[in-house]
């Protein structure tokens, strides 16, 4: 979990390590990345540090006004940073398709895709497409976005000779959902909805997607890796829908169990830029080190149902 009991792992980093520390001395010039998420917290820090290392960053957010404020803050610190803001609502498949089409027609390259956005412990609600909101935002939006951008990533990797990297956010809570796992036939079952189990279900789906994507990319012989990561316990807007969760984060912070935002963004930046993970794919990272996945996350039959392409 981190805190006073944190120790460095094989990578040389721990839960105390920050995004700047895990990318220190790395030159990301000439590389383009898309980072999804809210206009604060981990997205802002991930974007800032990638831009600091020379990466051309596209911050893909629902609130573009807030995104522009983050961009201006980055440019104040790093005047020559390359940062752009684009609109995307991951809970809407129409919005995802619109963004995907616009980016694909732009002629821009894409080396890294950091799927960071997430909705946590939210009360039951259906998306515009009629799917439980956490599953729609955390999984369906990202899986469609990945599908739409994958050909550009393949082309970029082939032409630039730079390994493409896909980073998906998951959670250490992924084994703690419904006993049946994802429960595809009960995604929208409001009567049996449990906001915590539903969150864990979406995080399990993220892991299964990552592992199946790895299998397919390796089969194609494409130089693109896909890994997932647990950001750690961080008091960000992800807990805004749940008073109990917010209180839990607050109490945990008193005992030095929570991470700061720079520490929470570390693993995403590590997976995107650090040369230690070159060629590594299908792994689940915690504190910039390989962690343990549940047996369900590696279930091949589950993967066929979870991955929609």
Q: Is the dihedral of CA 102, 274, 218, 299 positive or negative?
A: negative
Q: What are phi and psi of 7, to 5 degrees?
A: -130, 150
Q: Per the residue annotation, which of 103, 196, 197, 199 is the catalytic one?
A: 199
- For every residue of 187-250, DSSP letters joined together read TT-STT--HHHHHHHHHHHHHHHHHHHHHHHHHHT-SEEEEEEE--SB-SGGGTT-HHHHHHHH
279: left (phi over 0), alpha (psi -120 to 50) or beta: left
- Spatial separation of the C-alpha atoms in residues 164 and 112, rounded to whole Å: 6
**Residue whose entry in the numeric block shows the structure tokens 């493409």:** 164
The pair of three-digit structure tokens given for residue 154, joined into one six-digit string: 């393949």
Q: Is 199 a catalytic residue?
A: yes
Q: In angstroms, what is the C-alpha Rg of the chain?
A: 18
- Spatial separation of the C-alpha atoms in residues 227 and 285, rounded to whole Å: 8
Active site amino acids:
199
């Amino acid at each position: 979990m981190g805190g006073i009991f944190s120790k460095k792992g094989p990578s040389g980093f721990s839960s105390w390590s920050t995004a700047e520390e895990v990318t220190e001395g790395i030159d990301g010039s000439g590389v383009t990345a898309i980072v999804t998420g809210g206009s604060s917290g981990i997205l802002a820090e991930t974007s800032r540090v990638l831009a600091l290392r020379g990466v051309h960053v596209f911050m893909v957010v629902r609130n573009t006004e807030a995104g522009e404020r983050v961009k201006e803050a980055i440019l104040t610190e790093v005047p020559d940073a390359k940062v752009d803001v684009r609109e995307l609502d991951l809970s809407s498949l129409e919005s995802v398709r619109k963004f995907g089409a616009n980016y694909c027609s732009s002629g821009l390259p894409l080396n890294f895709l950091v799927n960071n956005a997430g909705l946590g412990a939210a009360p039951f609600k259906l998306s515009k497409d009629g799917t439980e909101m956490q599953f729609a935002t955390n999984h369906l939006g990202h899986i469609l976005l990945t599908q739409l951008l994958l050909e550009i990533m393949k082309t970029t990797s082939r032409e630039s000779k730079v390994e493409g990297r896909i980073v998906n956010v998951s959670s250490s809570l992924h084994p703690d959902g419904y006993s049946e796992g994802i429960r595809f036939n009960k995604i929208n079952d409001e009567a049996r909805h449990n906001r915590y189990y539903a969150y864990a279900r979406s995080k399990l789906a993220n892991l299964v997607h990552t592992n199946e994507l790895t299998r397919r990319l390796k089969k194609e012989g494409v130089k693109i890796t896909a890994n997932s990561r647990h950001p750690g316990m961080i008091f960000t807007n992800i807990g805004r829908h749940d008073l109990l969760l917010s209180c839990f984060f607050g109490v945990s912070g008193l005992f030095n169990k929570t991470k700061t935002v720079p520490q929470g963004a570390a693993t995403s930046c590590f997976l995107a830029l650090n040369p230690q993970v070159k060629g590594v794919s299908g792994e689940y990272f915690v504190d910039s080190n390989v962690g343990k996945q549940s047996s369900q996350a590696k279930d091949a039959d589950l993967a066929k149902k979870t991955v929609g392409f």
